[in-house]
């Protein structure tokens, strides 16, 4: 009987762009998957949404972590200009994950002949493990889905381990995203994999615990073949010894006269013949005792081999997908670099335009323009230097200087800059 294995993995997501790519894959937002031909898009409609997400991953993430963003933006208002970072920029540059992807599945044959409803029941048990044993709340689940459009059904559950922790420096509680609050290290992960298997077997699923350490070291099929070869050799040795004992006994039967002496009540056997018979019986018992044990081991090894062969195949698909994503990511980076350059040019033009409005607009226009400048500053689109350059010498100078808490020495150096040309700014903001 072939054994089936319960499989649970945890895969960290380190940046917002990575999250976006994973979301595109999990939600099947591409029109084709050339790097993964095993995805049958015509079957995607059968996928099961365990925790639905009706928007893209990044937008869903921002909504889920909006209190964290609000806290960060508030903190940035008092941060030094050279240390200010936008929310996503801060997340991408931190050492913490932005999310964690939990992958749950089993050996391919486990799902054989299962209906969609039966797979849904299995998936619900897996999600109970996420809630009850891992400790995630439903509001921390960004998205969870069962893919039925690939060779082996599996769950992708993306969680955001958003927690509040004590900041010892400020002695206040602050939001952070910390996977270690739920999966501290590989030792705890191994314990959770034990627990995952236990929860499934408690519900009556006939599954073995996945191979320990398989996340750390992939055991090749070749090694299993070597083990099988060794076991076969041991069995052959036993068989050879049995054959030798049997041949010895047969020779004694041929060459020994009066091997058996039969009288009314007894059968007498010569001593050397009797010893030879006992040897045959002993060796045959050893072979018989070893045979079922070896067969069990052979079956288990074959099952391991098939399981790993399936994982190897799946791993190759992921490698191809990663390679393609890396190429796409490079193209996106190049495109982003060009867009950032253009965006910077547009921002420079915007700053000049806002200054002209503050210089030459009517009172209403100046009031509205000042609010725009404040909003840009609050959203970290302008820094203090930008606000000073835009407003100095205008009627909104004092209001905006005060809003950004500009140092007094800037105010003292301002004269009449109504005709000031933004491009010829000689204001030293490095003091």
Asked if 10 and 118 sit in the same domain, the reply is yes
- Check: CB of residue 344 under 8 Å from CB of residue 337: no
Instruction: Tell me, yes or no, whether 254 and 145 share the same domain.
Output: no
Would you say residue 156 lies in a domain?
Answer: yes
176 with 29, same domain: the answer is yes
Share of the chain above pLDDT 70, in %: 70
243 and 291 fall within a common domain: yes
Quote the CA–CA distance of 44 and 48 in Å, as a whole number: 9
Q: Which of 193, 215, 237 is the last residue of a domain?
A: 215
Q: Is residue 350 part of a domain?
A: no
> Is 80 within a domain?
yes
Q: Residue 351 falls within a domain, yes or no?
A: no
Q: Is the pLDDT of residue 85 over 70?
A: yes
Q: Are 164 and 114 in contact (CB under 8 A)?
A: no
Lowest mean pLDDT among 66-70, 196-200, 322-326, 394-398: 322-326
Same domain, yes or no: 108 and 160: yes
With respect to residue 352, please indicate whether it lies within any of the assigned structural domains: no
| DSSP string for 268-290 | EE-HHHHHHHHHHHHHHHHHHHH
In a shared domain, residues 246 and 208: no
Residue 208 lies in a domain: yes
Q: Is residue 29 classed as helix, strand or coil in its secondary structure?
A: coil
The DSSP string of 135-157 is: ---GGGEEEEEEE-SSSS-EEEE
- Whether 354 is covered by a domain: the verdict is no
Q: What angle in degrees, to the nearest 10, is found between the helix axes of 57-64 and 16-26?
A: 120
Strands (E), 28-161: 48-51, 99-106, 141-147, 154-159
**Final residue before a domain boundary, out of 166, 198, 215:** 215
CATH number at residue 155: 3.30.930.30
DSSP string, 218-240: PPPHHHHHHHHHHHHHHHHHHHH
Give residue 407's pLDDT.
81
Please check whether residue 92 lies inside any domain of the structure. yes
Would you call 393 helix, strand, or coil by DSSP?
coil
Range of the domain at 36: 5-215
Residues 188 and 266 in one domain: no
Domain boundary among 176, 191, 215: 215
Q: What is the mean pLDDT of residues 411-419?
A: 51
- The answer to whether 404 and 429 have CB atoms below 8 angstroms apart is no
Q: Taking a C-beta distance cutoff of 8 angstroms, is the pair 137, 38 a contact?
A: no
Beta strands in 55-108, from DSSP E residues, in sequence order: 99-106
User: Exposure string (b/e) for 107-118, b if CB count within 10 Å is 16 or more?
Assistant: bbebbeeeeeee
Do 406 and 328 share a structural domain?
Answer: no
- pLDDT category at 47 given cuts 50, 70, 90 is very high
211 with 244, same domain: the answer is no
CA 350 – CA 344 distance, rounded (Å): 10
Q: Which residue has the higher pLDDT, 127 or 298?
A: 127
255 Cβ partners below 8 Å, 6+ apart? none
Task: Check residue 431 and give its pLDDT.
Answer: 37
- Of the two residues 321 and 164, the one the predictor is more confident about is 164
| Span 233-260, pLDDT tens digits | 666 776 677 677 777 766 766 665 555 5
Q: How many domains does the chain have?
A: 3
CA of residue 44 relative to chain centroid, distance: 21
Q: Answer yes or no: do 114 and 205 share one domain.
A: yes
Q: Quick check: 427 pLDDT over 50?
A: no
* Residue 279 CA: distances (Å) to CA of 119, 245, 253: 55, 6, 14
Q: Reduced to 3 states, what is the DSSP secondary structure of residue 333?
A: helix
pLDDT of residue 330: 82
In this structure, the answer to whether residues 205 and 238 fall within a common structural domain is no
Q: Is the pLDDT of residue 360 over 60?
A: yes
> Is the same domain home to 302 and 160?
no
């Amino acid at each position: 009987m072939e054994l089936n294995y319960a499989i649970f993995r945890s895969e960290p997501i380190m940046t917002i762009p990575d999250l976006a790519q994973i979301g595109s894959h999990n939600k099947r937002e591409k029109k084709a998957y050339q790097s993964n031909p095993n995805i049958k898009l015509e079957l995607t409609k059968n996928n099961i949404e365990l925790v639905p997400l009706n928007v893209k991953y990044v937008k869903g993430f921002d909504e889920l972590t909006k209190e964290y963003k609000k806290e960060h933006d508030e903190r940035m208002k008092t941060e030094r200009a050279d240390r200010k970072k936008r929310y996503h920029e801060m997340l991408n540059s931190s050492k913490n994950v932005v999310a964690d992807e939990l992958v749950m599945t089993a050996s391919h044959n486990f799902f054989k002949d299962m209906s969609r409803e039966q797979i849904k029941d299995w998936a619900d048990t897996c999600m109970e493990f996420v809630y009850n044993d891992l400790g995630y709340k439903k509001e921390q689940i960004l998205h969870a889905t069962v893919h039925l459009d690939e060779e082996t059904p599996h769950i992708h559950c993306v969680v955001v381990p958003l927690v509040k922790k004590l900041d010892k420096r400020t002695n206040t509680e602050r939001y952070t995203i910390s996977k270690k609050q739920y999966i501290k290290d590989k030792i705890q992960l191994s314990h959770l994999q034990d627990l995952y298997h236990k929860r499934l077997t408690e519900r009556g699923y006939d599954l073995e615990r996945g191979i320990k350490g398989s996340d750390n070291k992939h055991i090749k099929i070749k090694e299993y073949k070597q083990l099988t070869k060794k076991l076969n050799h041991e069995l052959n040795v036993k068989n050879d010894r049995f054959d030798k004992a049997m041949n010895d006994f047969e020779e004694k039967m041929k060459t020994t006269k009066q091997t058996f002496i039969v009288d009314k009540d007894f059968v007498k056997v010569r001593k050397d013949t009797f010893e030879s018979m006992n040897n045959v019986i002993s060796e045959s018992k050893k072979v018989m005792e070893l045979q079922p044990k070896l067969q069990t081991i052979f079956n288990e090894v074959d099952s391991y081999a098939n399981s790993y062969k399936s994982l190897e195949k799946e791993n190759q698909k992921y490698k191809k997908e990663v390679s393609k994503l890396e190429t796409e990511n490079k193209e996106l980076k190049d495109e982003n670099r060009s867009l950032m350059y253009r965006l910077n040019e547009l921002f420079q033009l915007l700053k000049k335009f806002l200054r002209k409005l503050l210089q030459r607009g009517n009172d209403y226009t100046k009031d509205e323009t000042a609010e725009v400048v404040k909003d840009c500053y609050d959203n970290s689109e302008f820094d203090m230097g930008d606000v000073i350059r835009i407003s100095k010498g205008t009627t909104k100078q004092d209001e905006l200087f005060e809003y950004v808490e500009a140092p007094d020495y800037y105010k003292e150096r301002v004269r009449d800059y109504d005709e000031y040309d933004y491009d010829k700014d000689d204001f030293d903001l490095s003091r």
